[in-house]
């Protein structure tokens, strides 16, 4: 059963139950009020007659035997000469009928009074005269009219309420029905499918969350496909070169000179580096990469990194400067892992900064109540990165056409590894860039010692 149908059935059941309850309570209250009204009028006129009958019963050995011979001493109950009464036993047996009306008419239209002695019921007295009969007929008419009106009104109310409940259930579940086809398409593997968002309520938030999830799944699926393709490509290139070189050596049939083995060794080194990078990245993403944290001076560490890249920078006449070198308090990091991060960033900066450009490394402390962060900016004047590439810059094997071309770059894993290493230290890494004006990588590392 669909949600809209369940909602409709629930609302319809509630409406029907409340209508029946209202009708029942109204009928009971109305009947009691009318009965009390008729009984009060009848009792006022038959009070003397009832007292006489109770006296007779009590003085007759508490028996109705011979009551048909009873003649009330007080005739006030029949002052106008048109009253009748009917005496019944507690078992509804007719004991005595007085007056000119038949027992059936007196019982139907007369006012009923319970005769009791010492809190015990001893009989029923029906008193009839035109006034009481009028009120009884009025009671019956009012009761029948109320019953008809309640039935007709209840049916009309239920019908209108069911129409409203149906429309409401359809309206409330309409966003779910619009979302369902998108969910089914996503389940069939159509990642990136979007559901319409037509409101800002909970349904709209669910649809927006679904769309975000769908886009993330699409990006993840694309990254998975690119990962497989990139790994295959990166492995195929050195393997193809190795196979071609080895086949050439085999076909030549001559002794291999040592210098001819150097290209093979270069490809093996490249292949080994790719496998090592993949292994390190997988360990970092799983949180299983070993760390050896200790107090580390970031200015000193960055100076060592600058010394490592100095030959490449000088060959391209790139000016590398380090600012904000106040030693301050050391931070607790794994120096080897952090050096790997900044070595990768600076090597990329050197690679994509044209000759005569500059690279600046700026260190700044950002204090706050929790101890603050140490911010390191690597700013180059290179070719920059287009805005649409920035969100994907730290993905595995991701390269842009301009800034990370395959033939001029590395394995495409360096930034992904750098991001994982920084995050495992509790920090963040971001990239800011303007095409043709340069790129800035911002790394923030916590200054407090990890617990």
Give per-residue pLDDT as tens, 225-273: 766 776 776 677 678 777 887 777 777 777 767 776 777 777 787 778 7
Task: State the average pLDDT over residues 194-205.
Answer: 80
Considering the domain architecture, whether residues 124 and 50 belong to the same structural domain is answered as yes
Q: How many domains does the chain have?
A: 3
Q: What is the pLDDT of residue 405?
A: 44
Structure tokens at 271: 């292949």
Considering the domain architecture, whether residues 299 and 415 belong to the same structural domain is answered as yes
Considering the domain architecture, whether residues 281 and 297 belong to the same structural domain is answered as no
The Cβ of residue 351 has, within 10 Å, a number of other Cβ atoms equal to: 17
Q: What is the pLDDT of residue 40?
A: 60
Q: Is residue 117 part of a domain?
A: yes
Q: Is residue 410 part of a domain?
A: yes
Q: What is the pLDDT of residue 136?
A: 75
Q: Is residue 319 part of a domain?
A: yes
Q: What is the pLDDT of residue 362?
A: 94
Considering the domain architecture, whether residues 319 and 378 belong to the same structural domain is answered as yes
Tens digits of residue pLDDT in 336-369? 899 999 998 999 999 999 999 999 999 998 877 5
Domain region containing 248:
202-285
pLDDT category at 86 given cuts 50, 70, 90 is confident
Boundary-marking domain end, from 260, 285, 310? 285
Among 15-24, 250-259, 411-420, the minimum mean pLDDT is found in 250-259
Considering the domain architecture, whether residues 140 and 272 belong to the same structural domain is answered as no
pLDDT category at 311 given cuts 50, 70, 90 is very high
Q: Which residues of 168-200 are buried (b: 16+ CB within 10 A; e: fewer)?
A: ebeeebebeeebeebeebbeeeebebbbebeee
- Output Rg (C-alpha) for the chain, integer angstroms: 50
Task: State the average pLDDT over residues 9-17.
Answer: 80
Considering the domain architecture, whether residues 43 and 57 belong to the same structural domain is answered as yes
In the block, tokens 């927006």 appear at 208
Boundary-marking domain end, from 241, 258, 285? 285
Among 69-78, 138-147, 310-319, the minimum mean pLDDT is found in 69-78
Q: What is the pLDDT of residue 402?
A: 42
The Cβ of residue 43 has, within 10 Å, a number of other Cβ atoms equal to: 16
CATH of the domain at 412: 3.30.565.10
The DSSP bridge pattern shows strands 120-128 and 111-117 to be antiparallel
Q: Is residue 254 part of a domain?
A: yes
Q: CA-based angle 441:443:446, to the nearest 5?
A: 175
In the block, tokens 């700013």 appear at 379
Assess whether pLDDT exceeds 50 at residue 30.
yes
pTM, two decimal places: 0.50
CATH of the domain at 113: 3.30.450
Task: State the average pLDDT over residues 182-204.
Answer: 82
Considering the domain architecture, whether residues 379 and 250 belong to the same structural domain is answered as no
Considering the domain architecture, whether residues 87 and 222 belong to the same structural domain is answered as no
CATH of the domain at 260: 1.10.287.130
Q: Is residue 315 part of a domain?
A: yes
Assess whether pLDDT exceeds 90 at residue 202.
no
Q: Write down the mean pLDDT value for the chain.
A: 80
Considering the domain architecture, whether residues 262 and 302 belong to the same structural domain is answered as no
Q: Is residue 158 part of a domain?
A: no
């Amino acid at each position: 059963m669909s949600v809209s149908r369940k909602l409709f059935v629930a609302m319809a059941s509630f409406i029907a139950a409340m209508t029946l309850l209202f009708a029942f309570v109204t009928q009971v209250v109305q009947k009691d009020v009318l009965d009390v009204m008729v009984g009060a009028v009848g009792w006022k006129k038959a009070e003397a007659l009832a007292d006489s009958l109770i006296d007779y019963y009590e003085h007759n050995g508490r028996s109705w035997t011979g009551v048909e011979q009873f003649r009330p001493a007080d005739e006030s109950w029949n002052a106008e000469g048109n009253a009748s009464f009917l005496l019944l036993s507690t078992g509804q047996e007719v004991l005595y009928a007085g007056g000119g009306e038949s027992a059936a008419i007196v019982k139907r239209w007369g006012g009923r009074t319970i005769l009791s002695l010492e809190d015990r019921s001893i009989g029923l007295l029906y008193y009839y005269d035109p006034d009481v009969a009028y009120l009884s007929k009025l009671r019956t008419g009012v009761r029948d009219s109320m019953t008809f009106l309640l039935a007709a009104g209840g049916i009309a109310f239920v019908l209108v309420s069911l129409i409203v409940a149906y429309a409401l259930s359809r309206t409330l579940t309409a966003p779910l029905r619009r979302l369902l086809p998108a969910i089914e398409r996503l389940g069939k593997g159509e990642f990136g499918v979007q559901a319409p968002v037509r409101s800002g309520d909970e349904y709209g938030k669910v649809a927006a969350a679904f769309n975000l999830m769908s886009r993330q799944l699409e990006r993840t699926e694309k990254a998975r496909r690119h990962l497989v393709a990139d790994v295959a490509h990166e492995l195929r290139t050195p393997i193809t070169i190795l196979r071609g070189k080895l086949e050439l050596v085999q076909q030549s049939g001559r002794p291999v000179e040592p210098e001819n083995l150097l290209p093979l060794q270069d490809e093996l080194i490249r292949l080994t580096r790719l496998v090592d990078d993949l292994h390190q990245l997988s360990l970092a993403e799983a949180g299983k990469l070993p760390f050896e944290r200790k107090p580390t001076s970031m200015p000193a560490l960055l100076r060592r990194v600058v010394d490592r890249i100095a030959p490449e920078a000088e060959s391209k006449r790139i000016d590398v400067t380090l600012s904000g070198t106040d030693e301050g308090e050391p931070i607790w990091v794994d120096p080897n892992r952090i050096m790997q991060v900044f070595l990768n960033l600076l090597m990329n900066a050197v690679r994509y900064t044209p000759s005569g450009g500059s690279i600046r490394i700026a260190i700044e402390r950002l204090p706050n109540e929790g101890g603050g962060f140490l911010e390191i900016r690597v700013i180059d004047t290179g070719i920059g990165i287009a805005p649409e590439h920035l969100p994907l810059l730290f993905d595995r094997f991701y390269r842009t056409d301009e800034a990370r071309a395959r033939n001029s770059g590395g394995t495409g894993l360096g930034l992904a590894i750098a991001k994982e290493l920084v995050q495992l230290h509790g920090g963040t890494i971001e990239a800011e860039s303007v095409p043709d004006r340069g790129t800035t990588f911002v790394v923030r590392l916590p200054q407090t010692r990890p617990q």
